[in-house]
Amino acid sequence: MAITADHDMGENSLKSKESMHKPKTANDLRYFVGLFTHQMKGTQAHDDKTVIEFLNNNKLLEFHMNTLGRTTKNGNEYTYVGFFTETAKNKFLEDTRISEAIGNFRNLEWLNKLNTPIIISATGIEESTNIKDVITQLENKFGKMERITYQSKLYGKINMKILMNIKCTEEDLLNTWEFLSTEE
């Protein structure tokens, strides 16, 4: 998905209200809606291009799109689009033009990114490991570290509790049990 500076959702440009905190990349998308790919109106090969043109020409997203998202869950393929804000997502779901032209989109909550502070335990870290590397790996996977709330050394191992502002899916968080160190 591509995001361009001259594309704002709806008819009115929001350029005068731009913020330095305005999301800029696909990684900043937090809310997702989709539908079963086989339920899209028309043929799939024709639909992707048609759907993208429809969404872009009608400015139904907060950005200019060049590809549709696709994912599979429980054996079902979904076609999805993402949003920076919940308001934009809700506005998209309520727009009757979308259900008439493409199909009935619904919330895909399992793709939504969490935006909440939580404490992550990092245990059994070798004393020789660079803690900054551990923090970098955690930030790349989950979000921004706020602070280390607890740190101890025991039998040559470091144990930490880290307060992080999580920006990943709940599934990513639940399915991460360990990181392997890149150091040898």
pLDDT reported for residue 117? 93
**Residue bearing the bigger pLDDT, 35 or 25:** 35
Tell me the C-alpha distance between 104 and 21, whole Å.
Answer: 31
Whether residue 10 is predicted with pLDDT greater than 90 in this model: the reply is: no
Whether residue 103 is predicted with pLDDT greater than 80 in this model: the reply is: yes
Using the structure block, give the residue that is written with the tokens 């028309």.
Answer: 42
Spell out the SS3 assignment of the chain.
CCCCCCCCCCCCCCHHHCCCCCCCCHHHCCEEEEEEHHHCCCCHHHHHHHHHHHHHHCCCCCCCCCCCEEEEECCEEEEEEEECCHHHHHHHHHCHHHHHHCCCCEECHHHCECCEEEEEEEEEEECCCCHHHHHHHHHHHCEEEEEEEEEEEECCEEEEEEEEEECCEHHHHHCCCCCCCCCC
pLDDT reported for residue 176? 78
pLDDT reported for residue 34? 92
Tell me the C-alpha distance between 3 and 24, whole Å.
Answer: 7
Per-residue pLDDT tens over the stretch 112-151: 888 889 999 989 999 999 999 989 989 988 889 999 999 9
Report the number of distinct structural domains present in the chain. 2
Judge whether 179 lies within some domain. Answer: no
Q: Round the average pLDDT of the chain to a whole number and report it.
A: 81
Judge whether 29 lies within some domain. Answer: yes
Contact 23, 75 (CB under 8 A): no
Judge whether 73 lies within some domain. Answer: yes
Compute φ and ψ for 176, nearest 5 degrees: -100, 110
Domain of residue 151, CATH code:
3.30.1660
Residues 105 and 125 reside in one and the same domain:
no
Judge whether 2 lies within some domain. Answer: no
Residues 62 and 80 reside in one and the same domain:
yes
Examine the fold and report which residue of 92, 111, 130 is the final residue of a domain before the chain moves on.
Answer: 111
What mean pLDDT is predicted for residues 153-159? 93
Please, what is the Cα angle at 91 between 89 and 96, to 5 degrees? 120
Count of residues for the chain? Answer: 184
Examine the fold and report which residue of 76, 111, 146 is the final residue of a domain before the chain moves on.
Answer: 111
Judge whether 181 lies within some domain. Answer: no
Contact 58, 98 (CB under 8 A): no
Residues 28 and 104 reside in one and the same domain:
yes
Residues 91 and 130 reside in one and the same domain:
no
Q: How much is the pTM?
A: 0.68
Judge whether 5 lies within some domain. Answer: no
Domain holding 85, by residue range, is 15-111
Judge whether 184 lies within some domain. Answer: no
